Amino acid sequence: MAKVFFIGAGPGGDPELLTVKAARIIKKAPLVIYAGSLLHERLLSGLEAEVINSHGLSLEELLDIMSQAVAKGKNVARLHSGDTAFYSALNEEAAGLRERGIPYEVIPGVSSASLGAARLGLELTMPEVSQTVVFTRLGGKTPGPSLEDLAYFAREDTTLVIFLSVARAREIEAALLKRLPPETPVVVAEKLGYPEERLLKGSLAELGTLVEKAGIRQTALIYVGKALLAAEKPQKTRSKLYGPK
């Protein structure tokens, strides 16, 4: 029976960061729908499928397109950037399909948060320093946590990964400085997975200046926390898993 596959397509620009299962489904699906504002077209290179850019379509239009394809016995590959688990708009599309009795399956992907850590060559956690990672964002077109909420999450034993908010770097800096030391490490990761990818390193006290001098206004993550120090010098604490005892 045909169905819709919601696929985490990874950080938009690198087709090699698709999972093996995702790549197989995309290659065989008669209809591929992708988020054109976030996914690079090279992810779709060589496909014989009908390809639709979802940018500018309403939820109802998307549901109609997917439902009609499944009714004709066609599998649908619906691509979302990053991982489907957060900031993907998966829930509303899945709910719409359930209401229509359309079967679907979710294939997770590589989050840009994970790719940024990989590019830095480190973990976002550090033994006895940081064992908690918070993924968050500020409100924009979609309402979200406030600057006060962001400050609430800021702790010296926590790593913050802030999505979809780089245009408000000055506000983020001011909010976090209420709870964190000015020397707290930060990294701004722009366009992860694309050829023009950049990683900018600095301290919390210079976050706004860092972003403004680089001319970054969107498509970037902000990492904040002591765990980032491991990218510059060996950590003093060790995992007990591989300790001498």
CATH class name, domain 4-107: alpha beta
- pLDDT digit string, tens, across residues 118-176: 999 999 988 878 899 999 998 766 676 788 889 899 999 999 999 999 999 999 999 99
What mean pLDDT comes out for the span 191-213? 95
CA distance 25 to 29: 6
pLDDT, position 32: 96
CATH superfamily membership of 112-231: Tetrapyrrole methylase, C-terminal domain (3.30.950.10)
Listed residue (84, 87, 116) closest to 231, CA to CA: 116
Contact 196, 209 (CB under 8 A): no
Listed residue (195, 205, 204, 210) closest to 228, CA to CA: 204
- pLDDT digit string, tens, across residues 36-61: 877 777 788 888 899 999 988 999 99
Does residue 86 register a pLDDT over 80?
Answer: yes
Q: Return the SS3 of 159.
A: strand
Q: How confident is the model at residue 231 (pLDDT cuts 50, 70, 90)?
A: low
pLDDT, position 140: 67
Q: How confident is the model at residue 91 (pLDDT cuts 50, 70, 90)?
A: very high
Listed residue (143, 80, 140) closest to 112, CA to CA: 80
Residue boundaries of the structural domains of the chain: 4-107, 112-231
